[in-house]
Amino acid sequence: MPAVSDLSSVIAATTQWLLHAYPTTGRAFSAELARAQARQAVTVACWLRYPDPADVALLMLLGPGGAARLDEIAGTDTTEADTAWRTWVDEVAASWAACLLADPELAADAVDALAPGTHIAGRPVDFRRLTAPEELDRGAAVLLRHPDLLAPVADLHRASLLDLLGTAREAA
């Protein structure tokens, strides 16, 4: 079980949901390149959404909400056996990550808006698979970065992400 301050299970599950919904068309290496991009997008989304230890503690206590509405939108067959991890999916983080994957400029703004506190602890972090994908990355993530395909998920919570980034920009 993760520590109270640890978002890694939520990040891993939400990443997995995005990869199931927008699978790579390539082989194993492409799948890993796509996973890196999705994981970085979800990490940025979760760090924005849960910026301090109290947020993370509450999330761990109450649960991230699960993938029910996302699965409905994506038309996922939820009768499949491996449903346990879906309870760790965070709908808002998935939606914000979809916004970031569709728009590298917005992703760069989101990375700039990360608070220097809890998660980064003063360390520099480079999310370049998200913000500056190379040809191999893009080739591996054709569906995962397609704005039209991402829209139903991205639109769910896009407004709150833009609000948050606008507020962060004004405060800077």
What is the nearest approach in angstroms of another protein to the Cβ of residue 105? 20
Site residues (vs another protein, CB under 8 A) = 6-9, 11-13, 15-16, 27-30, 32-33, 35-36, 39-40, 43, 54-55, 58-59, 62-69, 82-85, 87-88, 90-92, 121, 123-129, 134, 136
What is the nearest approach in angstroms of another protein to the Cβ of residue 62? 5
Query: Which is closer to another protein, CB of 54 or CB of 115?
Result: 54
Query: Which is closer to another protein, CB of 132 or CB of 166?
Result: 132
Query: Which is closer to another protein, CB of 102 or CB of 140?
Result: 140
Count of CB atoms situated within 10 Å of the CB of 165: 18
Listed in sequence order, the residues at least 6 apart from 42 whose beta carbon sits closer than 8 Å to its beta carbon are 11, 14, 15, 18, 93, 94, 97
What is the nearest approach in angstroms of another protein to the Cβ of residue 123? 6
**Region label for 124, one of left (φ > 0), alpha (ψ between -120 and 50) or beta (otherwise):** beta
Listed in sequence order, the residues at least 6 apart from 83 whose beta carbon sits closer than 8 Å to its beta carbon are none
Q: In sequence order, what are the beta bridge partners of 90? A: 65
